Amino acid sequence: MKPRWVAGTPELHNAVEQAMAKPEASTVEIVAASKHRRITRLDLPLLGKNVVVKEYLPASHHENLGARAIDTIRPWFGRSSAEHEWSSYEVLHANGIPVPDPLGFARLPGGGAWIVMRFIEGAAPLQQRLSGYPFEKRRRMRELGELIHELHKTGLSHSDLHVGNVLVSAKEMWLVDLQRVVPFKHTSDRVQDVSFMDFSLHHAGVSVAARLRFRIAALGLGPFRVASERELLREVGRASHRRAVDYYHGRTRRTLREGEGFARLRSREGSGMRLETVSEEAIDAMLAAHRDIVATGGPARLKCDHRSNVTRVEFGDGTAIVKEVVKTSARKRLADLFRGSPGQRAWLAGHGLRLRGIGAAQPLAYGERFDRGVPVGSWVILEDLGDAPSVASLTPEDAKEAELGKHLLDLLRRLHRAETVHGDLQAVHIHFVEGRPTLIDLESVRFLECLYDRHRIKMLCELNASVADEVLPTTKRCDLLDRYLVALPFDRGNARAVGEIVRRSLARRQRWQGVGCDLSRRFVES
């Protein structure tokens, strides 16, 4: 059956049908594809133009039965996603908003659809155009904000703004992917739109200053802002942060499902997850080597006690670390039933930290064993950081050369802005890999909805107490703490929090003795 065209010229209909019928032709290029949609660029010499065809696949292509049922039933109650997007293109194009020119729309047999648009020569997603000189970045942020502001002036919000849904050429920007465009009824709808893009820019590495320029332009604010306008900017920042927390939580939990580089693991040693690039045979071989090393000992046995066995095993051309935890306490087993086994927690923590831009040893696989539904043992296989030195092993000269203080400050800011608790943030658990701090010992990592003062103070105490006086002198330590407090002040007051950090750091009786610190001397004397 042929497509049923709703819009477009007969010449365009014939040309598109002929080109789409020959996907192997040199004039046809698949630009992007997913389970639900496919985007194809067509060179149509007879019409003297290039076009893009966005193809909505029929509901029968969905693997998920629920999604298949929803896409089958939705047209009975209103417009499909394809019809909604086509209508959005027409409305925005008629209002002068930069979108690709809508040329044609066709319904396909089985429930699919084609949206035909003009191909924009030389355009690329914004995420590919964020590098460049500072002046160029500032100009792009201002233009992006002005584009969103013009969209909102039409009374519509995009509802799915991110750096992949904005195309950029040398002179202009265009909005694409309009299937979620809806009228906005309140300022909060505008805030959500701007905050979604703000988070996407943050995820792409755009600085706070550049994103502030975008926010101001997107909200249509002038150089002199009243209190309500300043509060609106802060509300965008808070909404962007909430979006970050929700996004990263969802992406972290997704690592427990198949797809996007992850696969199920059904090993003789337990069930779990693995990277698709790591075969089950390789995992079985590493676990067998782990058992032999635990039994026979040797330099490859890094740790062996009543809580865990840690070994270094061969993997491909290199090595990997196997960490096995066996729960002997009924209380701990019951706790793991609700919070997950140590192996699963380390898997989620490693991938979750890396998603948030925080260095961590990459988990290759994890597995867990159950007894009557209760986890009784688990293991995780991690990349081996090799000879990368830990912060605890650095000499004063090494620390100065590696700019230790700068990197630790950046690590703390990233952890705390991402609402993340490490659980045991000691110097021995931070390694320098290619000049970047990388975390290990991941079982206690938690990703919270909100990080409170007590969490931050505990991590600062753990780190401060584990770094020796000579490695990070008091003057440098105080300067780093001052810079941390400027970025992330404490709710209870900075002076009170700093006093508690010093007192609790000294109480740990580790490597920091408070040499040259007036505040620590006061606690020692008292």
Please spell the DSSP secondary structure of 280-329, one letter per residue.
HHHHHHHHHHHHHHHHH-STTEEEESSSEEEEEEEETTEEEEEEEEE---
Residue 107, strand partner residues = 4, 113
The string over 282-319, giving b where at least 16 C-beta atoms fall within 10 Å of a residue's C-beta and e elsewhere, is: bbeebbebbeebbeeeeebbeeeeeeebbbbbebeeee
**Domain 4-118 adopts which CATH fold?**
Phosphorylase Kinase; domain 1 (3.30.200)
User: Could you please report the per-residue DSSP string of 21-83?
Assistant: T-TTSTTEEEEEE-SSEEEEEEEETTTTEEEEEEEEPPGGG-SSHHHHHHHHHHHHHS--HHH
pLDDT at 324 (0 to 100): 92
Enter the pTM of the model.
0.85
124-254 belongs to which CATH class?
mainly alpha
Residue 87 neighbours by CB under 8 Å, 6+ apart: 79
- To which residue do tokens 């004063």 refer? 396
Task: Please write the tens of the pLDDT for every residue from 378-430.
Answer: 999 999 987 889 999 999 998 888 899 999 999 999 999 999 999 999 999 99
Alpha-carbon dihedral 455, 460, 466, 470, rounded to 10 degrees: 180
CATH number of 391-525: 1.10.510.10
Spatial CA neighbour of 322 closest among 358, 360, 293, 351:
293
**CB of 380 within 8 A of CB of 366?**
yes
Q: Using alpha carbons only, how large is the chain's radius of gyration in Å?
A: 28
CATH architecture label of 262-383: 2-Layer Sandwich (3.30)
Instruction: Record the tokens describing residue 165, joined without a space.
Output: 């849904």
Residue 72 neighbours by CB under 8 Å, 6+ apart: 59, 111
**The two domains 124-254 and 391-525 share their CATH topology (first three levels equal):** yes
Which residues of the chain are under the pLDDT cut of 50? 60-62, 526
Task: Please write the tens of the pLDDT for every residue from 275-311.
Answer: 999 999 999 999 999 999 999 988 999 988 878 899 9
pLDDT at 70 (0 to 100): 54
Instruction: Record the tokens describing residue 124, joined without a space.
Output: 């690329």
- Hey, what long-range contacts does 18-27 have (CB within 8 A, 24 or more apart)? 19/43, 19/44, 20/53, 20/114
User: Given the DSSP bridges, would you call strands 166-168 and 182-183 parallel, antiparallel or unpaired?
Assistant: unpaired
Single-letter amino acid code for the residue at 452: Y
pLDDT at 69 (0 to 100): 54
pLDDT at 290 (0 to 100): 94
What does the domain layout of the chain look like in residue ranges?
4-118, 124-254, 262-383, 391-525
**Distance from C-alpha of 289 to C-alpha of 313, rounded to nearest angstrom:** 6
User: Given the DSSP bridges, would you call strands 446-447 and 420-421 parallel, antiparallel or unpaired?
Assistant: antiparallel
Task: Please write the tens of the pLDDT for every residue from 48-103.
Answer: 788 999 998 875 444 555 555 555 555 555 568 889 999 999 999 999 999 999 99
